Chain A
Amino acid sequence: MSKLTSMHDAVSDGVSDGDSVYLAGFTHLIPFAAGHEIIRQEKRDLELIRATPDLVYDQLIAAGCARKATFSWAGNPGVGSLPAFRRAAEDGIPTELELEEYTHFGLIAALDAGASNLPFAPLRGFIGSDLPEHNDNIARVESPFDDDYVYAVAPIEPDVAVIRAQRADESGNAHLWGIQGEVKIAGLAADTVILSVEELCSEETIRSDPNRTVITSDDVDHVVHDPYGSHPSYAQGYYGRDNEAYIEWAEIASDVDRVEAWLDEWVYGVENRREYVEKLGVDRLLDLQPDRSYATPVDMGAYR
């Protein structure tokens, strides 16, 4: 069954004020188009969850969409800190931002508990760290079998996850390659899943290489075809990370007025991702094109 829709409709149907939202991806395949649509639709009081909140969360926070950030590393990867996140955390501008903080492993384990219908997940993490003192959802537990101990984290089950992949069929079976991050686990832990892809493909293409499938249609509610939907992040094999944009953001975001102007121009000022891409221009996109490098095909065999 086709679940194909526009990002406008997926966000308007899938995201409500007050929701917990997980825009998944580890540097790779960050759902910027979805984040911008959430800003355009002026969603409010969101709990933004992600291991690595980066620019898109800084933009959501600057636009006043967030009341809380649940995270493990909040920064501009390879560049520095997130100015809007810091303004909110340090000075309550534009709104106070509640923080719920983990380590990477802690947050991923919490999602795993959510995805697996478990009351908690155990991990050897947080040992010797001050973090557990500041998060009630992290607790030390003794082993039931010997005198060892671990930490436990409570499940995280986002209301909505937006995940991106390179290609999917219209029902939401998706192929992803390159860095996978927490995409699958965030999708499985969430109630509603919006899947946004670079390319639509046939079910036959998916079935030709089932090991590459990151999520299946059972767990997907909306499928959006949004080429370049991850810019300035990247899609392995389709375009590279626009590092200039990440470096520029450090400048822009350090000044509240410049952030407003940027949002006016690049988010409120365009109707959708297609207009954003047109505005970026051909030259910039061509500069981000990698050379081709195909994986060697595998023989799945046609068995009778």
Chain B
Amino acid sequence: MNYTKSELMVVAAARELENDDSVLVGIGKPNLACNVAKRTHAPDLQMVYESGTIGSNPSSPPLSIGDPVLASGAVSIEPMRNNFNYQLQAGRLDVGFLGGAQIDKNGNINSTVIGDYDDPDVRLPGSGGACEIACHVGRTLMITPHSARRFPEEVDFITSPGYVDGREGRKKLGLSGGPEAVITDLAVCRFDERGEMYVAALHPNATREEVQAETGWEIEFADDLETTPEPKEEELRLIREDLDPDEMYTDQAE
């Protein structure tokens, strides 16, 4: 079948979602993944956006989380204070999508600064709601290109906690939940009982050597290493015809 890496990433992420999940959606691939899931195996998926829209049903791909298509036809729109207070902090959301410039071995995310905080090499946008999402949703998912620069052993700055210094470390801080999967253009990674990232599935045509070369520490591979299932025809049709016809967020095969 003819498909691209970005389409595979979207579909792999969609499969992480379950029917009845309420999900804090992000823009781009996460938005596509949620919409693919909603239109295939998870029709009751409740999509919530950081801008406070609940039950959004966007008619076209939103360019930002505050896009008007997320407000029109939503079931509710909450002011920011309510959204963060009653939705996130109170633990009403099951899944959150997060991204960042760096993700480390323990799933901690940096979206604040490369280099020293007070003398930055690169100043990044900052947390926004990401830290609260990482603290409070049941499970977090990440979709990101696989590169050594993006996967250092330790991030320069923890904006959003993953397993901090391990599963116990996260528990000691009073946090439940945590990262569930990191979906890259080479693999699907998960977290072991220590809270360390490992490779659970390789994408078709990707190799262990490639993954290791693009990871900043010696990453482990599952004993029962799987191959990521290919996208189904219907999933590709949804992406190409309905959800991202202008290829804003996916490169699409000919």
Q: A77-B63, A181-B52, A243-B63 are in contact. Are A103 and B125 (CB under 8 A)?
A: no
Contact A112 B27 (CB under 8 A): no
Partner of A180, one of B52, B65, B108: B52
> Dominant SS at the B interface?
loop
| Across-interface contacts of B135 in A (CB, < 8 A) | 124-125, 127-128
Q: How far is it, in angstroms, between the C-alpha of A248 and the C-alpha of B36 when the chains are bound?
A: 30
Nearest residue (CB) in B for A111 is: B81
Contact B127 A179 (CB under 8 A): no
- Check B131 for interface membership: any CB of A closer than 8 A: yes
Q: How far is it, in angstroms, between the C-alpha of A73 and the C-alpha of B51 when the chains are bound?
A: 13
Q: How far is it, in angstroms, between the C-alpha of A104 and the C-alpha of B124 when the chains are bound?
A: 15
Interface range, A side: 35 or more
Contact A104 B127 (CB under 8 A): yes
Q: A78-B27, A130-B157, A180-B77 are in contact. Are A26 and B51 (CB under 8 A)?
A: yes
- Check A123 for interface membership: any CB of B closer than 8 A: yes
Q: How far is it, in angstroms, between the C-alpha of A102 and the C-alpha of B127 when the chains are bound?
A: 8
| Across-interface contacts of B126 in A (CB, < 8 A) | 71-75, 101
Task: Output the least CB separation between A287 and chain B (Å).
Answer: 14
Q: A72-B128, A103-B129 are in contact. Are A130 and B79 (CB under 8 A)?
A: no
* Stretch of A82-90, A195-203, A251-259 that contacts chain B: A82-90
Partner of A236, one of B68, B89, B124: B68
Contact A179 B53 (CB under 8 A): yes
Interface range, B side: 35 or more
Contact B66 A27 (CB under 8 A): yes
Contact A185 B124 (CB under 8 A): no
Q: Which residue numbers of A lie inside 8 Å of B, CB to CB?
A: 26-28, 51-52, 71-75, 77-79, 81-82, 85-86, 89-90, 101-105, 108-109, 112, 123-131, 134, 148-149, 178-185, 234, 236, 240-241, 243, 246, 290, 293
Instruction: Knowing that A26-B52, A134-B117, A179-B71 touch, tell me 9 more A-B residue pairs with CB under 8 angstroms.
Output: A27-B65, A27-B66, A72-B127, A73-B127, A78-B65, A105-B84, A129-B127, A130-B157, A182-B79
Closest 10 CB pairs of A and B: A27-B66, A128-B161, A73-B128, A77-B64, A75-B125, A78-B64, A78-B63, A105-B84, A104-B129, A89-B123
